[in-house]
Structure 1
Amino acid sequence: MRNPEFPLSAVAAAVLLACAAAAQAQNPTPPAADETVLQTVTVNASADASQGGLPPPAAGGQVARGSRLGMLGNVSTMDAPFSATAYTQQLIQDQQARSVADVLLNDPTVRVARGFGNYQELYVIRGFPVQSDDMAYNGLYGILPRQYVATELLERVEVLRGANTFLNGAAPGNGGIGGSINLVPKRAPREPLSQVTAGIESGGQRYLATDLARRFGEDQATGIRINAARRDGGTAIDDEERKLNLLSVGVDHRGRNFRLSADVGYQEHKLDQSRPSVDLSPGIRVPRAPDASSNYGQPWIYSDERDVFGTVRGEVDISADITAWAAAGMRRGKEENSLHTPRVLNDAGDTGGFRFDNARRDTVRTGEAGVRAKLRTGDVGHTLAVSASAFDLKERNAFAFGGDIRSNLYDPVDVPPPDVPATGDLSDPRVTRKTRLSSIAVSDTLSFAQDSVLLTLGARHQKLKETGYAAGTGAETGRYDKSAVTPVAGLVYKPMSGLSLYANYAEALTRAPTPAFDSANPNDVFSPSRSKQKEIGAKYDNGSFGAGVALFDVRQPQGVEDAANVFSVSGEQRNRGLELTVYGRAMPGLRLLGGLTLLDAEQKDTGAAGNDGNDVIGAPKYQANLGAEWDIPGVQGLTLTGRVLRTGSQYADAANTQKLPAWTRLDAGVRYLTTVGKQMLTLRASVENLTDRDYWASAGGYPGAGYLVLGNPRTFVISASLDF
């Protein structure tokens, strides 16, 4: 790797902190203390209408022992030829995580960025962006709100690393290259659940939520779980206001040879005077990060998102060895916003830019169906699967932009919102895009040598169809209609109990980049782009502590223009790296979670000789996380928590002239579990960005764009949960 800039001091400091905490445990908490915590969150009912239900939590309860691998269903971590981590609801609650982004702060292979020009959460895995549009909900794309997903909806957050078109189908937002994220809905556990949580955080943000669940009928076969939440008030950022309203209902039923589940939900998320991303003019240096609590956003900026969604899933056992499943879902989304992204003009921090208003309406329909069967041919076992999927998005858009807004990053100036002309009707937008994806896939997982060797082979035939329309006139502006087959091969070898060695070859399929309107061939349509991945790795789990290591190489085609302005898909982005993950009980009373990623993301054959060999925008050479939880000896129910995040330097431009410095963030907290009468009470307090560090957290996330996002300031979060 080129100049890896390995953060020895930061990682060593984190390890020393954790070890110091462990060394102070003269009378360590017995293992039973961890088990007591696990019992309070174990969900024994199926969360996805599957025969086996959710994979159980691993030691420590923060991650699970398996996760969904698309059409392969729930697969044990040690049996999977891929790298994946599933974060549990216990971790979500204990860390007071508000959104998916907060959960993924625990993942050393993921960094959180933001959508292009808006406030959409975006996740960078192995140096490739995964938009929240491309997250799956119980295996279905496009069901949950596309900009922000509240954690009250979720039982687990599952991260699958690497190309995954075979497993999940092509992602509607053109992602799925560096990884994917699947969100698992909540289900009623066996024991009745009645919980209320109230909290407050810096800036006066107030929080109230309730989580209710019951099971009914013979053998408690039918369950219902209701979640409601409200957040309202200021944040640690000056003058910023956030509001969240959420309601969801999940039901499930387990019959003798069938299982059903369904979800319906509503989420409203509104931001007022939220701090925007920052663009950079070419040729200037990356400006000094402003005070983390400052707000250079205009007072008229807002973003309002409302979504209604629902899914249904069923599974039936045709025989002891054959199971069929089907699922369908729908979402209607409404977004309205008025935005401004400051563009830094000089080293003094002066900014320009324009106002951009947008009205968007989404209608998503999606579904899948399939069959899995188990059989044997001699000494070889087979798990066969056939799956078909379909996705349909109708997007309506209108927008308005213009004006000249002048301010300064360090001394902001409030500018009245300029009047800007609209394209389309902001109160009733026209259809501007239709996306239709369909596919069929087959696979066979062969098992040899008493299941110590597992070989997965498969392929998916994918159709990608998209039609664009002008927002003002409704006239068709372009059409894409192509198909391709993506194969997969994965091998797992388990030489001994608790150890798995694996390798895979997988591909991601995305719509090809299109020529610009002023290129020499603006109407050319290219075949889908295949991103090709090779990966080898190892996993270890002794029942108390687990770890994984992976080496990967991913190559993604890129569009370039030659000297004659002829566009072709002949460039390449090549990302190579090493990932290390750890989890579980390092010793009684001490739980660790984290790891390290080393990344070499390189531009190749770019068409600009000066950029060949340069780093990719927004891809740090290293990132490391380490979180620790320590149960204080002698004080039943008291736990101290801490986490360190370290991210290496990264570039905001393809020429590698605009460089963001590396940054480190420290978090700390305390949790106390007690009883009030016969009721369980959990008190939690945490401090995010303990040292109040001012830093640019990310660069880019949209192809070719290097916009910056400022890290959040020191934030105090306090909450209390009462089970009654």
Structure 2
Amino acid sequence: MQNQFLAGRPAFARGQRRTPSLLSAGLLVSLGLSLSTLSSSGWAQAVVTDAATLPSVSVSASRDDSAAQADTVSAGALGSRKQVDTPFSTHVVTSEEAQDLMATTANDLFKYDPAVSVSSENSVSENSMFNVRGMPIDTLNSIKVDGQSFPSWDTDLPLEPFEQVELLKGLSGFMYGFGSPGGIVNYVLKRPTDDPYRSVSIDYQSAGVFSEKVDLGGRFGNDNRFGYRLNLVNEDGNTAESNGHVRRKVASLAVDFRVTPDLTWSADAFYQKRKTNGTLFGLMFASGLSIPDASTVSHSLTQPQNYYQTEMASFGTGLDYRISDNWHASLKYRFAKENRTNSDSFLYVSDDAGNYSNTLYAAMTRYFYQNVDAMVQGKFSTGSIKHDVVVGAGFQTQTSEYSNSVGWNDGYFLGNGNLYSSTLLTNDEVSIGSDLYRQQRTTQAALYASDTVQLTSRLSALVGVRYTQYRQHVYDTTGAVSSQYSADPVTPTLALMFKTDPYSTLYASYVESLEQGGSASNTNANYPATFGPLKSKQYEIGFKSDHSKWGANLALFRVDQGYNYTNSANVFVQDGTKRYTGVDASGWLALTSEWRVVGGVMWLDTKAVDVDDVSVEGKRVYGAPRFTVTGRVEYNPAYLRPLTLAFGGKYVGSEAVNADNSQFVPAYVTYDLSGRYETKIAGKDVTLRAGINNLFNRRYWTTAWGYYVSPSPTRTFVASATVQF
């Protein structure tokens, strides 16, 4: 429940509520240990008091819709619910908030959530990725579009076609089926607007990337029964990174038809093609070497032959039927495809002098997904006890196609270089391997049901269960089955919720989940070994509150997850358990009508248990910071309400690079500065935004997958102008 973590207006426009105690206010202020960025203009205008009569405020229809939607989260098999009424940790970012953040990826959306730590950025690596509470997001199973699985292997979905992006932290077994315990990222598509909507934007990013964006929506026909929403994006230019260039095109269209007042048919399609020059797969340091200070390393580690390209397309359709005031049914289908072409380098650093060998991996891979889901949600009472039930079924298929070329299996040797100097390396034999074969096919058939039982006016209980029939087949290059796995798990969810007031919930929850087993990469000695499903358990106690002038989220959690890692022999293994125990807390407070502070902190203790490898047993889990702090201060001056200024930052603690903890990347702090100004030109609403990311050009390392690191992006200036009419 953290939509208020990124923008003030939705949280400040909810009417009369109780004011916080001095103790609560003090705790929230103490969380803002450092300052973070966002221009959330006009938030002070929406601050309401406990007076009986509210002041009049001018708010556009689109923002009203955004605020209302930000209050809710799509919780998979639980249906759509208010964030404060769910017994899980959630964080929702609307499209308007994304614009204020000038976000281009999910990394940008959740950069000020203390539970989120970045593992790579698409300006320097293949794609943008992050961990939640030290656990990575599963890009094969945990990325959703309107609640349905979407292929996102080493790629980034465009943000422009989506109304909001929802992060469910932790396990999701009952709600979404298979997926890693890091969480679920659900992209909610923009749908037709009831009123005409038109906006045009021009964006700029240093050193010379320009974007043109169009967003159109409305209704037409008899009784406005037909609706549409169109988004178009064109982006091109040189980035601030060495050898960096990006080219991106996006097109999306969503339509609907109100067949009757109770029955609506909808359909959507979107397409993106993105190519980035100057990307790295990552760097690996030989055993026994320490990770050098990132600020001393050359900024020119990529080669002219390095690039990364993804192309994705999706089509979805569905029916929504309001059976009665208390009952609702839906049926939906989605097809999605991703083509991935990589021609990027893996650098193996062999000594303390920084000498490395450069191997370029060049190949194409493909992913095909299909989803069918049916769900019924309703409410009824048995005496004084109220029930909110959900019953549903789903079926999905996932197919992966890999290349069998030299460029994928062995790579092309470009030559040797040094981390502290720039060296031109090329190989005329490099070519993209397109001889694809079906490497894997997975099917999941699921039945689920839940009942949220309201025992008293304050106390309720959630009981949910999902049965999944999981089948996985792995194939060799001849098409023969090399391995296969099957599982028929029943994953329960249990929770108790107590409303301390109408806007606050104290909860305790237990969740079980299964995730797809790990696979050795083409740099592991046992490639292409694939393992069976991993089981996870999560225990969480939390409190969430969303008042008019303050909000808070607190969660104490423990997660036990099956462990897969690369051992000292460079063999990828699946062995033992990763245990994550921690506190995830955040809050915001309107100090005055002009000043607002936001802060968050996460403390995390991780260790490997019951692991056969003595060098790994008891060690910290790789890629998990022990401590993270975020904060932001926003200033909306009374003498110039159209202007909002913000300054902030994030501290991320040190992280282990590998399972045996022989290498670490150090802690780092980044700062950002931003501003937003709203005005009118020729009678049209115009919004101007500008900011500097990584204000002091801090150089640092990020780490993922248990053996490699990636360099950080350089300081970047961003700006945009949006005209709405």
TM exceeds 0.5? yes
Amino acid at match of 2:611: T
Contact persistence 1:536–1:550 (CA under 8 A): yes
Shift, 1:590, TM fit: 3.5
Amino acid at match of 2:469: K
Partner of 1:351: 356
Shift, 1:34, TM fit: 12
Shift, 1:499, TM fit: 2.2
Task: Name the CA distance, whole Å, in 1 between partners of 2:83 and 2:169.
Answer: 13
Partner of 2:71: 65
Deviates more, 1:280-289 or 1:397-406: 397-406
Shift, 1:544, TM fit: 3.0
Identity over aligned residues, as a percent? 27
1:326-357 CA-to-partner distances (Å, cap 9, x unmatched) read 11101122222212111122222211142211
1:609-634 CA-to-partner distances (Å, cap 9, x unmatched) read 23222111110001122233321221
1:342 aligns to what SS in structure 2? Answer: strand
Correspondence 1:78 to 2:84:
yes
Correspondence 1:42 to 2:47:
no
Task: Name the CA distance, whole Å, in 2 between partners of 1:337 and 1:567.
Answer: 22
Amino acid at match of 2:442: T
Deviates more, 1:347-356 or 1:88-97: 347-356
Partner of 2:397: 392
Shift, 1:527, TM fit: 6.7
Match of 1:147 among 155, 165, 177: 155
Amino acid at match of 1:453: L
Correspondence 1:720 to 2:724:
no
Task: Name the CA distance, whole Å, in 1 between partners of 2:530 and 2:205.
Answer: 51
Shift, 1:536, TM fit: 0.2
Amino acid at match of 1:167: M
Partner of 2:453: 446
Partner of 1:679: 684
Shift, 1:412, TM fit: 2.4
Task: Name the CA distance, whole Å, in 1 between partners of 2:68 and 2:599.
Answer: 20
Match of 1:242 among 242, 246, 255: 246
Deviates more, 1:205-214 or 1:144-153: 144-153
Amino acid at match of 1:202: S
Call closer, same or farther: CA 1:539–1:68 in 2, change over 3 Å.
same
1:571 aligns to what SS in structure 2? Answer: strand
Call closer, same or farther: CA 1:516–1:70 in 2, change over 3 Å.
closer
Correspondence 1:56 to 2:68:
yes
Partner of 1:209: 213
Match of 2:127 among 105, 120, 126: 120
Task: Name the CA distance, whole Å, in 2 between partners of 1:242 and 1:560.
Answer: 33
Correspondence 1:622 to 2:627:
yes
Shift, 1:596, TM fit: 1.2
Correspondence 1:429 to 2:436:
yes
Match of 1:190 among 194, 198, 213: 194
Amino acid at match of 2:136: P
Task: Name the CA distance, whole Å, in 1 between partners of 2:160 and 2:97.
Answer: 12
2:235 aligns to what SS in structure 1? Answer: strand
Partner of 2:538: 533
Task: Name the CA distance, whole Å, in 1 between partners of 2:676 and 2:56.
Answer: 17
1:209-268 CA-to-partner distances (Å, cap 9, x unmatched) read 111111224554432111111111111112211111000011234442123332101100
Match of 1:111 among 107, 110, 117: 117
Deviates more, 1:252-261 or 1:281-290: 252-261
Q: TM-score, normalised by structure 1?
A: 0.87
Contact persistence 1:385–1:442 (CA under 8 A): yes
Shift, 1:569, TM fit: 6.3
1:161-310 matches, cutoff 5 A: 161-171=169-179, 175=180, 177-217=181-221, 220-254=224-258, 255-290=260-295, 294-310=299-315
Contact persistence 1:483–1:528 (CA under 8 A): no
Contact persistence 1:237–1:292 (CA under 8 A): no
2:195 aligns to what SS in structure 1? Answer: coil
Contact persistence 2:36–2:648 (CA under 8 A): no
- Runs of 4 or more above 6 Å deviation: 32-35, 115-118, 514-517, 521-527, 560-563, 565-569
Amino acid at match of 2:149: Y
Contact persistence 1:121–1:131 (CA under 8 A): no
Shift, 1:494, TM fit: 0.6
1:611-690 matches, cutoff 5 A: 611-690=616-695
Amino acid at match of 2:162: L
Task: Name the CA distance, whole Å, in 1 between partners of 2:222 and 2:101.
Answer: 36
Call closer, same or farther: CA 1:415–1:560 in 2, change over 3 Å.
closer
Call closer, same or farther: CA 1:562–1:132 in 2, change over 3 Å.
closer
Task: Name the CA distance, whole Å, in 1 between partners of 2:436 and 2:566.
Answer: 34
Amino acid at match of 1:633: A
For CA contacts below 8 A with separation 6 or more, give which structure has more relative contact order. Answer: 2
1:139-166 CA-to-partner distances (Å, cap 9, x unmatched) read 0011668601121121111111111110
Partner of 1:93: 99
Task: Name the CA distance, whole Å, in 2 between partners of 1:526 and 1:706.
Answer: 19
Contact persistence 2:643–2:678 (CA under 8 A): yes
Task: Name the CA distance, whole Å, in 2 between partners of 1:276 and 1:512.
Answer: 22
Shift, 1:599, TM fit: 0.6
Partner of 1:47: none
Shift, 1:31, TM fit: 3.4
Partner of 2:24: none
Shift, 1:638, TM fit: 1.0
Amino acid at match of 1:319: S
Partner of 1:468: 474
Correspondence 1:417 to 2:427:
yes
Partner of 1:549: 554
Match of 2:345 among 340, 347, 361: 340
1:131 aligns to what SS in structure 2? Answer: coil
Task: Name the CA distance, whole Å, in 2 between partners of 1:325 and 1:715.
Answer: 44
Correspondence 1:377 to 2:382:
yes
Correspondence 1:402 to 2:411:
yes
Unaligned runs of 5+ in 2: 1-28, 49-53
Shift, 1:184, TM fit: 0.8
Partner of 2:709: 708
1:91 aligns to what SS in structure 2? Answer: helix
Task: Name the CA distance, whole Å, in 2 between partners of 1:568 and 1:282.
Answer: 18
Shift, 1:437, TM fit: 1.6
Task: Name the CA distance, whole Å, in 2 between partners of 1:523 and 1:231.
Answer: 36
Task: Name the CA distance, whole Å, in 1 between partners of 2:307 and 2:402.
Answer: 17
Call closer, same or farther: CA 1:609–1:418 in 2, change over 3 Å.
farther
Contact persistence 1:55–1:74 (CA under 8 A): no
Task: Name the CA distance, whole Å, in 2 between partners of 1:28 and 1:228.
Answer: 33
1:682-724 CA-to-partner distances (Å, cap 9, x unmatched) read 111100011111111x211x2xx23112111110011111123
Shift, 1:497, TM fit: 2.9
Contact persistence 1:355–1:417 (CA under 8 A): no
Task: Name the CA distance, whole Å, in 2 between partners of 1:122 and 1:572.
Answer: 23
Shift, 1:40, TM fit: 5.5
Task: Name the CA distance, whole Å, in 2 between partners of 1:643 and 1:247.
Answer: 33
Shift, 1:651, TM fit: 1.1
Match of 2:47 among 31, 50, 70: 31
Shift, 1:14, TM fit: 5.4
1:525-566 CA-to-partner distances (Å, cap 9, x unmatched) read 987422000000111222232111000000012369999x99
Unaligned runs of 5+ in 1: 1-10, 45-53, 58-63
The two structures, once aligned, show a CA RMSD in angstroms of 3.4
Task: Name the CA distance, whole Å, in 1 between partners of 2:55 and 2:227.
Answer: 27
